[in-house]
Amino acid sequence: ANANAGANANTPLPAPPPPGLFVMCRNAEQANAAIDAGADGVYLDFLELTGTGATLRALRDRGAKWVGVAPPRIRKPDEEKIDRYLMGLAPDGVLVRGLGALHELGRGAYGRVPRAASGEADGETTTHDAAAPLYVGDFSLNVANALTAREVLSRGLSAFTPSFDLDAAQLTQMTTRELAPFTELVLHHHMPLFHMEHCVFAAMLSTGKNHLDCGRPCERHALALRDRAGFEHAVEADVGCRNTVFHAKPQSAVHLVQPMQHAGVARFRVELVREGASEVARLVETYRAVIDGQKAAAEAWRGLRAEEGWGVVRGSLRVLA
């Protein structure tokens, strides 16, 4: 174990990724609103693969400079075609969400996928022939300390998202001068509470049991689970029919923007669930203003707290002791 740690510590780090504010979007309306409001780029995390390809090309046609994709968090056997399709779109970035995906990246399984491979899912192709995409480790890799950060960077990542298990003090301690340039900090998101194979849509809105006989009600309906306090937690399905339950109250790290910038962090992310275009615009404009030094974090926090439907909290970032 000590030998591995020493080798990891001596591994040269890659070149830092470009800075910016990036927004994870779940539909084309959100993606266009985010770009219009000043986001430097977007990640597309759509239920429909065909919608991902169409939106990526439309965003490029309108001049978007950076469009990434977010494959499912868990990949079942025989779902390799999902990754091949997404890579065939020639995205500018890819969220690496699991250790299996990280392993494949480390052994060169992703590499430079031939662009013609994009036709696997629906006959689509792309003429965009950019350099290899930027690989960003998502929070689900659970990067909670410097050793883990160096390990994932040594396996092909250009940036990592710190674990959501860290509070503000732990996050600040982890973000050293060495690792800060490779950190992509999530500033605003609905905390994912559960990620499960059980499909609430199929169970509640159909007589089927899987995508073969359920009629895919997830494409036509929105579901939420109401807890005993009356909060409604959104349920979202992915392309592999897995469900994620998101906390009703969004969590904000706006108070960490300036300290993180002083440490050297330059990549920030906002993650959307069901926000409409006007909400997306207000969110992106607020965080953009704080990042650019045009609005104080305290002022932004008061606005986010007062905004109907948001009522942001510090959540897991709150220091308990």
Higher pLDDT among residues 156 and 4, named by residue? 156
Residue 78 has pLDDT above 90, yes or no: no
State the pLDDT at residue 151: 94
CA distance 210 to 238: 13
DSSP single-letter state for residue 167 = -
State the pLDDT at residue 73: 83
State the pLDDT at residue 263: 96
State the pLDDT at residue 183: 98
CA distance 19 to 181: 8
Residue 93 has pLDDT above 90, yes or no: yes
Task: Compute CA distances 148 → 9, 37, 162, whole Å.
Answer: 10, 34, 10
- pLDDT, mean of residues 211-223: 90
State the pLDDT at residue 241: 85
In a 3-state reduction of DSSP, which class is residue 190? strand
Domain count, the chain: 2
Q: Are 103 and 203 members of one domain?
A: no
320 confidence band (pLDDT: 50, 70, 90): low
- Degrees to nearest 5, angle at CA 51 with 50 and 54: 90
Q: In this structure, are residues 302 and 269 in contact, taking their beta carbons and an 8 Å threshold?
A: no
Q: Are 186 and 238 members of one domain?
A: no
- Computed over every residue of the chain, the mean pLDDT equals 86
Higher pLDDT among residues 112 and 260, named by residue? 260
Q: What is the CATH number of the domain that holds 303?
A: 3.20.20.70
pTM tops 0.75: yes
Q: Are 125 and 270 members of one domain?
A: yes
- Degrees to nearest 5, angle at CA 93 with 81 and 48: 45
77 confidence band (pLDDT: 50, 70, 90): confident
DSSP single-letter state for residue 181 = G
State the pLDDT at residue 127: 45
What residues form DSSP beta bridges with 196? 243
- pLDDT, mean of residues 295-318: 76
Residue 171 has pLDDT above 50, yes or no: yes
Look up the domain containing 225 and give its range: 195-245
Q: What are phi and psi of 79, to 5 degrees?
A: -100, 15
Which residue is it, tokens 């904000």? 252
Q: Are 209 and 258 members of one domain?
A: no
Q: Are 222 and 262 members of one domain?
A: no
Q: Are 32 and 123 members of one domain?
A: yes
Alpha carbon 270 to its chain centroid, in Å, reads 8
State the pLDDT at residue 221: 93
State the pLDDT at residue 232: 93
Give the model confidence (pLDDT) of 58-69 as tens digits: 999 999 999 999
Residue 110 has pLDDT above 70, yes or no: no
Q: Are 110 and 155 members of one domain?
A: yes
Q: Are 150 and 267 members of one domain?
A: yes
Q: Are 161 and 143 members of one domain?
A: yes
Residue 108 has pLDDT above 80, yes or no: no
CA distance 298 to 102: 37
Q: Which of 222, 245, 268 is the last residue of a domain?
A: 245
Least confident of 30-44, 169-183, 208-222: 208-222
53 confidence band (pLDDT: 50, 70, 90): very high
119 confidence band (pLDDT: 50, 70, 90): very low
Q: Are 239 and 94 members of one domain?
A: no
Q: Are 99 and 219 members of one domain?
A: no
CA distance 193 to 235: 10
Q: Are 123 and 84 members of one domain?
A: yes
Residue 1 has pLDDT above 60, yes or no: no
